[in-house]
Structure 1
Amino acid sequence: MDRYQSMKTFVRVVETGSFSAAARLLNVGQPAVSKTIAQLEDHLQVRLLIRSTHGLTPTEAGLRFHERAKSAIQEADEAELAARGAGAGLSGRLRVSAATTFARLHIVPLLPRFLEQHPGLEIDVILDDRLIDLVAEGVDVSLRMGALLDSSAVARRLATGGRSVVATPAYLAQAGTPQSPADLADHEAVIYSQLPNVWSFTRESTEASVSVRGRVRVSAAEGLRAAVLADVGLTITSDWMFGPELASGAVRRVLEDWALPPLDLWAVFPAGRMASAKARVFASFVDRAPNPNFYRLCWSSSAM
């Protein structure tokens, strides 16, 4: 029995709550996971998991072993990294999650360079605009924007980006250019369903909020981008989403003398376990990566 691999399997089972989910993350069959856990319990001469129709629950001994196993795996990974040299020789699989459009525009183009630096590494990129359970999905690091709702999350702020109201010249030629936030009430807005449809602005000491309306609502940023480029209406968005179009003039900012709350970019690591060396190195790579459309047009570095 490979004790190290057995510990990794057990930790995955506990964190995902099932043999099948752990098997999927480990890229092995469910019978192999079940057999590994049975061999581990036989080796330790103690029951680690209670199996029921409701799922798997760690016993008291299982909980103690889980915490020690997590620490042992972390220390082994750190020792291996230190022996090879910090940031060098990363190997295995790294699971990264990010919003679909953000990843397509600003993360996926960076992957060839990162993989070239770490030829022994494989990367799974989970694309989802919704917040996902990092532990259940086996994610090592998630790139998220906005306020962090989970106070227990372990996170590192990578950058801060601006936000604007944008539209195409064709839409503005047809509907007119708003001169104040109040004018937005008379415009067709493309509404992102994951955010409120009340937009708040500031200018010096003045604050203004407006409830916008629109016949098109989208559940993903990719749809928001496509609708604006199709001249459907104007929208409020992070500048990173239209970096090239803003530079070329294909999309224009309006109400530029009014400010919108900025948006932070975070590297978020799963709560309850230490960030892996691979996850930390990847977050640092994104933080330092020279991507002009990402940083120069949209973000100011504020790494912590």
Structure 2
Amino acid sequence: MDRMTAMETFVRVVESGSFSVAARHLRVGQPAVSKTVAQLEDRLGVKLLTRSTRGLTTTEAGQSYYERAKRAIEEADEADLAARGAGTSLSGRLRVCAAVTFASLHIIPRLPKFLAEHPDLELEVVLDDRNIDLIQDGIDVAFRMGTLADSALTARRIARGRRLVVGTPAYLVRVGMPQVPGDLVGHQSIIYLQQGDDAAWTFRQGSAETAVAMKSRLKVTAAEGVRAAVFADLGLAVASEWMFAPELASGRVLAVLTDWELPPVDLSAVFPAGRIATAKARAFVAFLEEALAGKADI
């Protein structure tokens, strides 16, 4: 049994959750896939997979083997790419994770260009507002905003965006346009809990600084909910410019107090701890970094 072939078969079974699906991807019969995994378990002397009514799951040994086998395959692919030259098109699978709204607005619309440049690449985009475990979920690179809570992560800042106070024209006509940060106490605000439960923000203008505790009757756990609440004229929100980019451009949403500054928000590319970033992940990060810098249009 070829060791690399066995690794690739096992990794494909784990990632697809099915012997039959893995067989279709590998263009072999299902019995051949089942036999390869069985031979691998015999060689290692451990059980790697268990069957249940919910499908296939990895054992503790199987999960550990999957992570290391996937890494070995990626490193072998890296060696092939290096030998062929940097200009070679990327191939294989790339698994990316990002928050739902950010990905919908700023990543997915740009994918046609990236995929056209790499026709042999398979891309999986995991949409999740939570900071999921990159290794456990098989993520090659994640994009996260704000301060990274886990200092052990391998991360690189790729963009910095403004935080803005935003609201709809209808809401501002009804309640009034704030002229200075202190005016916000007379407004309702929509709090995005991913930024913390604290509704106090520090505004700066030159050497002047003022803190405002914004009044709120509505707290939301997902960015899409913040957007929906703003569109429903429920109040003002403090949000990154990325969250409302299309609406700010169209005028559906307005930024207020623009002569005052709020702390900016960083966007970081985050890689699984202890792993070398693959060529595929590095290429995708570079592509998105260039796009957000305004050098690549949707």
Q: TM-score range by the shorter chain?
A: 0.7 to 0.9
Structure 1 residue 218 displacement after superposition: 1.9
Structure 1 residue 152 displacement after superposition: 1.3
How far does the alpha carbon of each residue in 1:127-150 deviate from its partner, in whole angstroms, 9 at most, with x for none? Answer: 111111111111111111111111
Counterpart of 1:189 in structure 2: which amino acid? S
- Residue 198 of structure 1: aligned partner: 200
* Distance verdict in 2 for CA 1:72–1:131, change over 3 Å: closer
Does structure 2 conserve the Cα–Cα contact (< 8 Å) formed by 1:164 and 1:253? yes
* Distance verdict in 2 for CA 1:181–1:77, change over 3 Å: same
- Residue 56 of structure 1: aligned partner: 59
Structure 1 residue 33 displacement after superposition: 8.1
Report whether the alignment pairs 1:232 with 2:234. Answer: yes
Counterpart of 1:182 in structure 2: which amino acid? G
Alpha-carbon distance in structure 1 between the residues aligned to 2:78 and 2:150 = 27
- Residue 24 of structure 1: aligned partner: 17
Does structure 1 conserve the Cα–Cα contact (< 8 Å) formed by 2:247 and 2:253? yes
Query: Paired residue for 1:265, among 261, 267, 273?
Result: 267
Counterpart of 1:214 in structure 2: which amino acid? S
Q: Which runs of 5+ in 1 are unaligned?
A: 14-18, 296-304
- Residue 128 of structure 1: aligned partner: 128
How far does the alpha carbon of each residue in 1:183-210 deviate from its partner, in whole angstroms, 9 at most, with x for none? Answer: 2122111121222322222233333222
Counterpart of 1:3 in structure 2: which amino acid? R
Does structure 1 conserve the Cα–Cα contact (< 8 Å) formed by 2:153 and 2:272? yes
Report whether the alignment pairs 1:42 with 2:36. Answer: no
How far does the alpha carbon of each residue in 1:69-95 deviate from its partner, in whole angstroms, 9 at most, with x for none? Answer: 566434311122123332532112211
- Residue 219 of structure 2: aligned partner: 217
- Residue 107 of structure 1: aligned partner: 107
- Residue 287 of structure 1: aligned partner: 289
Alpha-carbon distance in structure 2 between the residues aligned to 1:186 and 1:176 = 9
TM-score, normalized by length of structure 2? 0.80
- Residue 186 of structure 1: aligned partner: 186
Structure 1 residue 107 displacement after superposition: 0.5
Alpha-carbon distance in structure 2 between the residues aligned to 1:288 and 1:50 = 41
Alpha-carbon distance in structure 1 between the residues aligned to 2:264 and 2:32 = 48
Does structure 2 conserve the Cα–Cα contact (< 8 Å) formed by 1:244 and 1:293? no
* Distance verdict in 2 for CA 1:184–1:202, change over 3 Å: same
Alpha-carbon distance in structure 2 between the residues aligned to 1:87 and 1:289 = 20
Does structure 1 conserve the Cα–Cα contact (< 8 Å) formed by 2:96 and 2:142? yes
Alpha-carbon distance in structure 2 between the residues aligned to 1:31 and 1:131 = 38
Counterpart of 1:56 in structure 2: which amino acid? T
Alpha-carbon distance in structure 1 between the residues aligned to 2:296 and 2:237 = 20
Q: What pairs up with 1:138-177 in 2 under 5 angstroms?
A: 138-177=138-177
* Distance verdict in 2 for CA 1:214–1:87, change over 3 Å: farther
Alpha-carbon distance in structure 1 between the residues aligned to 2:125 and 2:71 = 26
Query: Paired residue for 2:247, among 245, 248, 262?
Result: 245
Partner of 1:289, secondary structure, is helix
TM-score, normalized by length of structure 1? 0.79
Partner of 2:150, secondary structure, is coil
Does structure 2 conserve the Cα–Cα contact (< 8 Å) formed by 1:50 and 1:57? no
Structure 1 residue 279 displacement after superposition: 0.9
Alpha-carbon distance in structure 2 between the residues aligned to 1:32 and 1:189 = 59
Structure 1 residue 217 displacement after superposition: 2.4
How far does the alpha carbon of each residue in 1:265-295 deviate from its partner, in whole angstroms, 9 at most, with x for none? Answer: 1111111322222111111111123785999
Counterpart of 1:252 in structure 2: which amino acid? L
Counterpart of 2:168 in structure 1: which amino acid? T
- Residue 118 of structure 2: aligned partner: 118
Alpha-carbon distance in structure 1 between the residues aligned to 2:6 and 2:72 = 12
- Residue 26 of structure 2: aligned partner: none
* Distance verdict in 2 for CA 1:290–1:146, change over 3 Å: closer
Partner of 1:28, secondary structure, is helix
Alpha-carbon distance in structure 1 between the residues aligned to 2:222 and 2:105 = 14
Does structure 1 conserve the Cα–Cα contact (< 8 Å) formed by 2:47 and 2:59? no
Comparing 191-200 with 124-133, greater Cα deviation is found at 191-200
Q: Which runs of 5+ in 2 are unaligned?
A: 24-29, 51-57
Counterpart of 1:221 in structure 2: which amino acid? A
Counterpart of 2:165 in structure 1: which amino acid? V
